[in-house]
Amino acid sequence: MKKSKAETAKTRQRIVEIASEALRARGIEATGVAQIMAEAGLTHGGFYRHFDSKEQLVTEAMAMSRNDFIAKTLAAAQQGTEAMLQHFQDYVTSDHRDDIGGGCAWAANGSELVRADAKIRQNATEGFRTLVEKAALFMKSQPDEDKTDVAISVLTNMIGALTMSRLVDDPVLSDRILAVTRKRIARTIRPSSSKAAARPRKLASKRPANH
* Contact partner, 16, from DNA, a second copy, none, Cβ < 5-8 Å per class: none
Residue 50 found at the interface with DNA (CB under 7 A): yes
* Contact partner, 156, from DNA, a second copy, none, Cβ < 5-8 Å per class: a second copy
Interaction residues for a second copy, span 69-128 (CB under 8 A): 100, 106-115, 118, 121-122, 124-125, 128
DSSP the chain: ----HHHHHHHHHHHHHHHHHHHHHH-TTT--HHHHHHHTTS-GGGGGGT-S-HHHHHHHHHHHHHHHHHHHHHHHHHH-HHHHHHHHHHHTSHHHHH-GGGS-HHHHHHHHHHTS-HHHHHHHHHHHHHHHHHHHTTB---TT--HHHHHHHHHHHHHHHHHHHHH-S-HHHHHHHHHHHHHHHHHHBPS--HHHHH--TTTTTSPPS--
Q: Judged by CB under 7 A, which of 2, 195, 199, 201 binds DNA?
A: 2
Minimum distance of DNA from residue 47's CB (angstroms): 6
Interaction residues for DNA, span 13-32 (CB under 7 A): 31-32
Residue 176 found at the interface with a second copy (CB under 8 A): yes
Minimum distance of a second copy from residue 116's CB (angstroms): 9
Residue 47 found at the interface with a second copy (CB under 8 A): no
Residue 117 found at the interface with DNA (CB under 7 A): no
Interaction residues for DNA, span 52-81 (CB under 7 A): 53-55
Minimum distance of DNA from residue 117's CB (angstroms): 12
